[in-house]
Amino acid sequence: MVLDDVQRAFVEQWGEMGARWGVSRSVAAVHAFLYLSEEALSADDLCEALSMARSNVSTALKELEGWELVFRESRMGDRKSYYRVQADVWEMARAIMKERKRREAEGALRTVGECLEKARKARNEFQEGRLEAMQEILQLGCSFADKAASCPPSLIKKALKMGGKVLDWVARK
C-alpha cells in the first residue's frame, strides 16, 4: 500500500498541525491516513503505508480510540482488527472538544479553584483578582464545550456560520 500525492500531503500537514496542538506526529499521521481511506485498514496496512513501526501504530490507534476518533472493526474469518475513522468532521470536532475539556480544562479549573481559595485565605487581592479572571474564562469555556457537545452538529454548524454576526449583535446591545 502506497500513499498517493493527496494522501501524502494531507498526512504531512496533519502531522505538523497535530504536533503544534500537542498530539504526536504518529497519532496525527495515522488519523489523517485513515480519514482519507475509503475502507477500514489493519495495523499492518498502516505500518506499510506510513513506514511506521508496529509499536508506534498500535500506540497511535489506542490513543485515537481513546479520543473516539477511530473505531475498531472485525471481519468474518479474519483475526486482524481493522480501523475506521470518525468520518463526520462535526462529530470529530465534538469528540476532540469533549476530550480536550476532560484532559485539560477540567484539571486546570480545579487547580485554579484551589489556588483561588489559598489566595483568599492569604488575603492576596492581586492573586485573587487574577485567579478569578482565569476561573471565569475557564468556566465559560467548559460551559460552552458542554453545551456544544449536547447540540446536534447541524446547530453547531449554523452557529459557526453566523460567526461575527453574533458578536456584532451583542456589541450593539
**Domain extent for 36:** 5-85
- Whether 133 is in a domain gets the answer yes
Question: Residue 71 domain-assigned?
Answer: yes
**Sheet strands (E) in 10-166:** 41-42, 70-75, 78-85
Distance (Å, rounded) from C-alpha 152 to C-alpha 42?
31
Please indicate, yes or no, if residue 168 is contained in any of the structural domains.
no
68 inside domain? yes
The number of CA neighbours under 13 Å toward the Cβ of 146 is 8
Q: 81 and 11 in one domain?
A: yes
Rounded distance between C-alpha atoms, residue 10 and residue 41, angstroms: 17
pLDDT score for 151: 85
The answer to whether position 164 is within a domain reads no
Is position 163 within any domain?
no
pLDDT value, residue 49: 96
d(C-alpha 29, C-alpha 13), whole Å = 9
Average pLDDT on 1-27 reads 93
CATH code of residue 9: 1.10.10.10
Per the structure, the count of domains in the chain is: 2
Cell matching residue 74: 472485525
Strands (E), 15-157: 41-42, 70-75, 78-85
Q: Which residues contact 36 (CB under 8 A, 6 or more apart)?
A: 6, 7, 10, 11
Per-residue pLDDT of 109-151, as tens digits, reads 999 999 999 999 999 999 999 999 999 999 999 998 888 888 8
**pLDDT for residue 164 is more than 80:** no
Are 11 and 67 found together in one domain? yes
* 60 and 121 part of one domain: no
pLDDT at 39: 94
The answer to whether position 158 is within a domain reads no
CA–CA distance, 160 with 148 (Å, rounded to integer): 11
Helix (H, G, I), strand (E, B) or coil at 65: helix
Whether residue 99 is found in the same domain as residue 81: no
pTM of the shown model: 0.81
Last residue of a domain, one of 55, 85, 115: 85
